[in-house]
Each structure stands twice: as structure tokens, then as C-alpha cells.
Amino acid sequence: MAKFKLLHDRPNCIGCGACAVIAPKFWEMNDDGKSDIITGKHVDKGWQELEIDQKDFDINLEAAESCPVEVIHIEDEEGKRKI
């Protein structure tokens, strides 16, 4: 099964909440008004990441495409960005 890395540029998130509405299993709104990846790991410069399976790709792709400031990204196992 293919693995992907869900990435969130949290510092540049504007908190519109579209990701949390589209994919509530993966996204939630934080008290500071920005979204977070549920169970995401905090990495460099405020970014978050979470490994996801193929079955979770489409819903997170939809969340990424809904983001007006394009702070949600998905990479494949080779580090190639899908969005």
C-alpha cells in the first residue's frame, strides 16, 4: 500500500477551516484560530506532518485543494509533491 506524507505549513495558515470541514478525521481547528493535523508531528519551522495511506489520500487531496492559501501539501514515498 502506498504511503504519503501529509504536510501543513501551519505558520501561514489563515484558519479558514475548510480542511476541518472536509476531512474532520484528519483536521481540527485549534484555539489560536489555525488548523492542525490530528495526531500530526510538529517538525521544522512550525510545520506539521503525518504519514497517510492510499485510502486517505483522496479526502486529504480534497482538503488541500480547498485551502485558499495552499498550505496543505501531500508528498509520495519518494518525496515528490502531489500538491
Give per-residue pLDDT as tens, 33-51.
999 999 999 999 999 999 9
pLDDT in tens, 57-75: 999 999 999 999 999 999 9
Distances (CA, A) of 20 to 5, 64, 70: 18, 11, 14
Domains in the chain, number? 1
Examine residue 83 and state whether it is found in any structural domain, yes or no: no
Taking residues 17-30, report their average pLDDT.
Answer: 98
Examine residue 80 and state whether it is found in any structural domain, yes or no: no
In the chain, DSSP finds a helix count (H) and a strand count (E) of: 2, 6
| Structural domain span for residue 58 | 3-75
**Residue 22 pLDDT > 90:** yes
Which CATH number do you get for residue 28?
3.30.70.20
Q: Are 21 and 71 in contact (CB under 8 A)?
A: no
3-state SS, residue 14: coil
Query: Which grid cell sits at 44?
Result: 521544522
Examine residue 46 and state whether it is found in any structural domain, yes or no: yes
pLDDT at 1: 61
**Residue 6 pLDDT > 70:** yes
